[in-house]
Amino acid sequence: MDPQPFHDHDHHQCSDAVMSQAEASLAASGARLTPVRRRVLEILLEAHRAMGAYDVLQRLAAEGYGNQPPVAYRALDFLVEHGLAHRIQRLNAFAACMHPGEAHAPAFLICRVCDTVAEAPAAPVRAALDGAAADLGFTVERASIEALGLCPACREPS
């Protein structure tokens, strides 16, 4: 079963699973998961949320790491480059990838009430986009697909 933010799940297990996948994925590519990078990923994994770079930085600083923006941005950029995190343009923020290692071009579903961010399988969306672009002669290389709305939990009056 996939990590799935919108429903009850054992979050500890969910995070651990992602961390393991992340480690495996990195080992395969020869990149190093240094303490700062690992810690940043853990911080992102604490919630199914997007966090701003400065929020992450504050956490790092409190734990004795550097307290200047590049410390956070470098780790975040590393995670994004290696597919362990995503940048959410709409929020100027970052979220842990819930499916590291798998090739995927996700769409992000952002709940405007609880700020939860989920990844939806976007292959069909991407196909539609590629088609629309092709009609205009445009070749899509990278796409950001981000939706703002209501997650199941916030939709129903609990």
36 versus 145: smaller Cβ distance to DNA: 36
Alpha-carbon span 88 to 123, nearest angstrom: 18
Q: Dig out the tokens for 16 from the structure.
A: 């651990």
Residues whose CB falls within 8 Å of the CB of residue 142, separated by 6 or more in sequence, listed in order: none
Q: Dig out the tokens for 39 from the structure.
A: 């810690």
Window 95 to 154, contacts with a second copy (CB under 8 A): 107, 109, 111-112, 118, 120-122, 124-125, 127-129, 131-133, 135-152
Alpha-carbon span 82 to 79, nearest angstrom: 5
Q: Which residues bind DNA (CB under 7 A)?
A: 31-32, 34-37, 52-54, 65-71, 73-75, 77-78, 92-93
> Residue 100's closest CA among 114, 117, 86?
86
Is residue 35 within 8 A of residue 53, CB to CB? The reply is no
Instruction: Consult the annotation and say whether 111 binds a ligand.
Output: yes
Residue 81 binds which entry of DNA, a second copy, none, CB below 5-8 Å type-dependent: none
Window 44 to 103, contacts with a second copy (CB under 8 A): 89-90
10 versus 156: smaller Cβ distance to a second copy: 156
Q: Summarize as ranges the residues that interact with a second copy (CB under 8 A).
A: 4, 6, 89-90, 107, 109, 111-112, 118, 120-122, 124-125, 127-129, 131-133, 135-152, 155
